[in-house]
Structure 1
Amino acid sequence: MSFTGKYELESQENYDDFMKLIGIPAETIEKGRNFKFTSEVVQNGNTFTWSQIYPGHTMTNNFTVGQESEMQTMSGKKFKAVVKLEGGKLLVNFDKYIHTSEIVNGNLVETSVAGGVTFKRISKRVA
């Protein structure tokens, strides 16, 4: 299934606990808690452009499944990683957490796990 589309945040679970655990400053957590950001994904075969658009800031990761790519974390730190595609899910080991993305009933479901805390974000397709 293609990930291509524009998705708007609908709900999230364990936001505060997860952000604190990965070292996001309290002020940034507070600002981001109620952002209704948008994710825009363009998939061309195994190559992706994945943008998260926040008020006043856009973060974009470009990657090809199975190849090392430079990525950026939620906190802005850059690192190199290999994105895998397994069972229709994209998996990547970020610096402090493991992140998976999948399409479920047309929605983008993203799950990040660190230190026993699971952060889940569901975004509905809007285009």
Structure 2
Amino acid sequence: MAFNGKFEFESEKNYDAFMKLLGLPSDVIEKGRNFKIISEVKQEGQDFTWSQSYSGGNIITNKFTIGKESEMHSLGGKKFKANVRMEGGKVVVDFPNYHQTSEIVGDKLVELSTIGDVTYERVSKRVA
């Protein structure tokens, strides 16, 4: 299934534990808890443009091609290179400090980010 669409944040699990493991200060974690995140994904074959807009106007956009090394930006805004792959209909990427999978389940975008034994789950509903 193509990943094309616009998705609005709906729910999350293990936010605090995951953000602490990322090393974010408690004031940043608190501020981020109230963000309204809109994810917009455009897929053309193996090429993706993946943007996340946060409350306050901050936007992180990653452009990548499945199977090719691409320059990416992490949640904290740090640049790194990664080889994004597709496994069983999921987009999979290893960020510097965590492993992430993203998939479409019905009308939802489900993103799982894992550090050690803590998995942060963010679910967003399709709005367009």
Q: TM-score, normalised by structure 1?
A: 0.98
User: Hey, what does 2:41 align to over in structure 1?
Assistant: 41
3-state SS, counterpart of residue 31 of structure 2? helix
CA deviation string 1:58-85 (max 9, x = no partner): 0000000000000111111110000000
Which runs of 5 or more structure 2 residues have no equivalent in the other structure? none
Match of 2:111 in 1: 110
TM-superposed CA distance for 1:25, in Å, is 2.0
SS at match of 2:36: coil
CA positional deviation for 1:26:
1.5
Which residue matches 1:29? 29
Q: Could you tell me which runs of 5 or more consecutive residues in structure 1 were left unpaired when the two chains were aligned.
A: none
- Amino-acid identity (%): 61
SS at match of 2:20: helix
Please tell me the root mean square deviation across aligned C-alpha atoms, in Å. 0.7
- Runs of 4+ aligned residues of structure 1 deviating over 3 Å after TM superposition are none
- Cα deviation 1:53-111 (Å, max 9, x = unaligned): 00220000000000000011111111000000011000000000000000001200000
Tell me the TM-score normalized by structure 2. 0.97
Q: Which residue of 1 aligns with 2:53?
A: 53
- Give the secondary-structure state (helix, strand or coil) at the position aligned to 1:27: helix
